[in-house]
C-alpha cells in the first residue's frame, strides 16, 4: 500500500481509540466454533493489543453476557470456555474486524474486574508511544492495523494545488514512529525506499505534524546514518576556516579528517534576492553526511550575508533575507547543534524567523514567547536527536541546551561552561 492510499474505516478508527483497552466482541456463530465447541456467553471480553512491528490483535480473556438493559456481566470465570489454564485465544486483525465491537467504559471494565486479567502488554513499552497512540487527530495518517505506522510527506518541497500558499514535501512514504519528542514531533524509522529524494529504507527520521492554512500533514526530515565507528568527544577544536560565495562549487568541509572551522559561510546577496538556497542547503546537508562530520562540526559554524553593508535595514527586517532563512529552516532544524555561539549568525537566523512586530516595546516580549515556542517545538528536539545519534552524553546535551538558551537570551557572550 502506498502512503497516499490510506483507507481506514470506522472500525479501524475504533480500534485505534482502544489500543491497550478492553472491548466487548459480540459473538458470531456463523464464523467458526469457539474453543470449547459452544459459546459460553453472548460476548467476549477482549483486550486490544498492539505489539511493535505487528498488527493489532485481540486477546480474548473471558466470556461475558449482556442483559436486556445493556449491562455486561461475567458469564463464567476465566479461562472457562476459553481452554485450559495458560491457553491464549487471540484474534488477528482481519478476524477481529469481522465481529461487532462495543467500547467499554472504565466503570464497565471495573465492574467486570477485567483489570485483574493479564493483558500481555509489554512492560517496557515507551510511555511516549502510548501518548502518540492516543492522539486522535493523527488517526487519519495511520496504517490500518498498525497504529505506530503513519503516512508522511518526505523530501523536497511542493505546493498542493488547492493551497498554493502552503508548502509540504513531495514523496509520500510510511514511517514507524518509535518515540514522541513533543506533541508535534516524533522520531521513527523509514519503512519504504525513497525513489525521488535522498534517503534509504531503515533510516532514522524526524516527523512533525503541521496544520498550515488548515492543511494537516506529517512532514518527514531525514537524519544521517550513524556509522559504527565512534567519535572522540575530547578531540581538540579545529582551526577556523572561511567559505565564501567564490567557493560556491565546493562544499567540502574536512581536511585530513579534521573540520576546518569554526567556519564562516557567506551567503551572497544575489542568491538571497533570487531565493536560491541550493548552495547553502547543500553545504548544510554535508554536515549530516556522517556521524564523524556532524560531531567534528558541533558548534563550529557561523553564517553571514554579503552585499548588505550599505543597507541601513537590520537583516531581520529585509523580506528577501527572511524568506531565504525560512526556506533553509524548513529542512534544516539543527542550528543549535552546529552554530558557533561566539558569533552573531544564530541571532540573525532567529531574528529572521521571528514574527515582525511594529511596536519595539512589545517586540521583546513577543519574540521571547515565540523563541520559547520554537525551541520547544523544533530546535531543542533536533539538538537532542542529532546529539544522541552522534554519541553526546546527557551531560553534554544539557550543557549545550544551557549554552544555547544563554546565547538567545543574553547574546553571543561567553556562554556558561561546565563546572
pLDDT band (50, 70, 90) for residue 230 = very low
The predicted pLDDT at position 150 comes to 95
In a domain, 63, yes or no: yes
**236 lies in a domain?**
no
Question: How many domains are there within the chain?
Answer: 3
Nearest to 227 by CA among 297, 296, 293, 298: 293
Residue 12, in any domain of the structure: no
In a domain? residue 401: yes
The torsion angles phi and psi of 106, rounded to 5 degrees, stand at: -60, -35
Q: Are 301 and 286 in contact (CB under 8 A)?
A: no
User: Considering 116, 148, 174, which residue would you say is the last residue of a domain?
Assistant: 116
- The lowest-confidence range among 100-104, 228-232, 300-304 is 228-232
Q: pLDDT tens for residues 48-70?
A: 999 888 899 999 999 999 999 88
Instruction: Say whether both 134 and 183 belong to one domain.
Output: yes
The answer to whether 78 and 38 are in contact (CB under 8 A) is no
- 317 shares a domain with 201: no
Shared-domain flag, residues 141 and 82: no
pLDDT tops 70 at residue 255: no
Phi first, then psi, for residue 205 (nearest 5°) are -135, 160
272 and 186, same structural domain? no
Same domain, 54 and 98: yes
Residue 242: the pLDDT is 38
Show the cell assigned to 408: 538567545
Is 250 in the same domain as 398?
Answer: yes
Of residues 166 and 320, more confidently modeled: 320
Q: Which of 88, 116, 144 is at the close of a domain? A: 116
- Calculate mean pLDDT across residues 271-290: 90
275 φψ region: left (φ > 0), alpha (ψ -120 to 50), beta (else): left
- Same domain as 268, residue 386: yes
Q: Is residue 268 part of a domain?
A: yes
pLDDT of residue 265: 83
Q: Tens digit of pLDDT for each residue in 283-323?
A: 898 889 888 888 888 988 889 898 888 888 899 899 999 99
Enumerate the β-bridge partners of residue 175.
Answer: 150, 190
Distance CA 254, CA 233 (A): 17
Cis amide linkage into residue 224, ω under 30° from 0 = no
Domain boundary among 116, 149, 183: 116
Domain, as residue range, for 175:
127-222
Q: Is residue 48 in a domain?
A: yes
Higher pLDDT, 253 or 25: 25
Phi, psi of 12 (to 5 degrees): -55, -45
Stated pTM of the model: 0.53
pLDDT at 243 over 50: no
Of 62-76, 226-240, 315-329, 350-364, which gets the smallest average pLDDT?
Answer: 226-240
Neighbours of 366 (CB within 10 A): 14
Backbone angles phi, psi at 65, to 5 degrees: -125, 150
- Over the stretch 357-392, which tens digit does the pLDDT of each residue have? 655 555 556 667 778 788 888 899 999 999 999 998
Q: In this structure, are 143 and 202 located in the same domain?
A: yes
pLDDT of residue 343: 81
Question: Does 362 lie in the same domain as 257?
Answer: yes
Question: What is the reported pLDDT for 366?
Answer: 64
112 and 153: one domain? no
Amino acid at each position: 500500500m502506498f502512503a497516499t492510499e490510506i483507507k481506514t474505516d470506522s472500525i479501524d478508527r475504533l480500534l485505534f481509540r482502544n489500543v491497550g483497552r478492553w472491548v466487548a466482541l459480540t459473538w458470531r456463530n456463523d464464523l467458526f466454533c469457539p474453543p470449547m465447541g459452544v459459546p459460553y456467553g453472548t460476548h467476549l471480553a477482549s483486550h486490544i493489543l498492539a505489539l511493535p512491528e505487528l498488527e493489532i490483535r485481540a486477546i480474548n480473556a473471558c466470556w461475558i453476557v449482556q442483559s436486556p438493559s445493556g449491562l455486561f456481566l461475567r458469564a463464567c470465570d476465566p479461562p472457562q470456555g476459553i481452554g485450559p489454564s495458560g491457553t491464549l485465544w487471540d484474534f488477528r486483525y482481519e478476524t477481529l474486524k469481522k465481529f461487532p465491537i462495543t467500547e467499554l467504559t472504565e466503570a464497565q471494565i471495573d465492574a467486570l474486574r477485567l483489570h485483574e486479567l493479564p493483558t500481555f502488554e509489554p512492560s517496557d513499552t515507551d510511555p511516549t508511544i502510548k501518548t502518540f497512540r492516543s492522539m486522535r487527530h493523527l488517526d487519519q495518517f495511520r496504517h490500518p492495523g498498525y497504529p505506530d505506522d503513519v503516512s508522511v510527506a518526505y523530501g523536497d518541497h511542493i505546493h498542493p494545488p488547492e493551497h498554493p500558499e502552503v508548502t509540504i514535501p513531495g514523496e509520500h512514504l510510511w514511517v514507524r514512529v518509535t518515540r514522541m519528542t513533543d506533541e508535534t514531533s516524533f522520531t521513527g524509522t523509514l519503512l519504504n525506499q525513497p525513489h525521488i529524494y535522498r534517503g534509504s529504507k531503515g533510516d532514522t527520521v524526524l516527523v512533525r505534524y503541521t496544520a498550515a492554512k488548515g492543511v494537516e500533514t506529517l512532514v518527514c526530515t531525514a537524519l544521517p546514518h550513524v556509522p559504527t565507528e565512534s567519535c572522540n568527544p575530547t578531540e581538540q577544536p579545529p582551526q577556523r576556516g572561511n567559505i565564501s560565495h567564490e567557493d560556491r562549487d565546493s562544499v567540502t568541509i574536512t581536511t585530513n579528517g579534521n573540520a576546518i572551522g569554526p567556519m564562516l559561510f557567506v551567503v551572497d546577496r544575489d542568491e538571497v534576492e533570487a531565493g536560491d538556497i541550493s548552495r547553502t542547503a547543500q553545504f548544510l546537508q554535508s554536515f549530516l553526511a556522517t556521524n564523524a562530520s556532524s560531531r567534528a562540526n558541533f558548534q563550529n559554524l557561523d553564517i553571514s550575508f554579503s552585499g548588505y553593508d550599505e543597507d541601513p535595514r537590520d537583516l531581520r527586517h529585509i523580506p528577501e533575507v527572511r524568506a531565504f532563512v525560512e526556506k533553509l529552516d524548513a529542512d534544516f532544524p539543527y542550528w543549535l547543534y552546529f552554530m558557533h555561539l561566539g558569533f552573531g549568525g544564530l541571532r540573525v537566523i532567529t531574528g529572521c524567523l521571528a514574527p515582525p512586530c511594529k511596536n519595539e516595546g512589545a517586540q521583546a516580549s513577543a519574540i521571547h514567547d515565540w523563541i520559547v515556542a520554537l525551541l520547544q517545538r523544533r530546535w531543542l528536539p533536533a539538538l537532542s536527536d542529532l546529539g544522541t545519534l552522534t554519541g553526546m552524553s546527557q551531560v553534554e546535551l544539557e550543557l549545550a541546551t544551557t549554552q544555547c538558551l544563554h546565547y538567545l537570551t543574553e547574546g553571543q557572550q561567553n556562554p556558561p561552561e561546565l563546572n
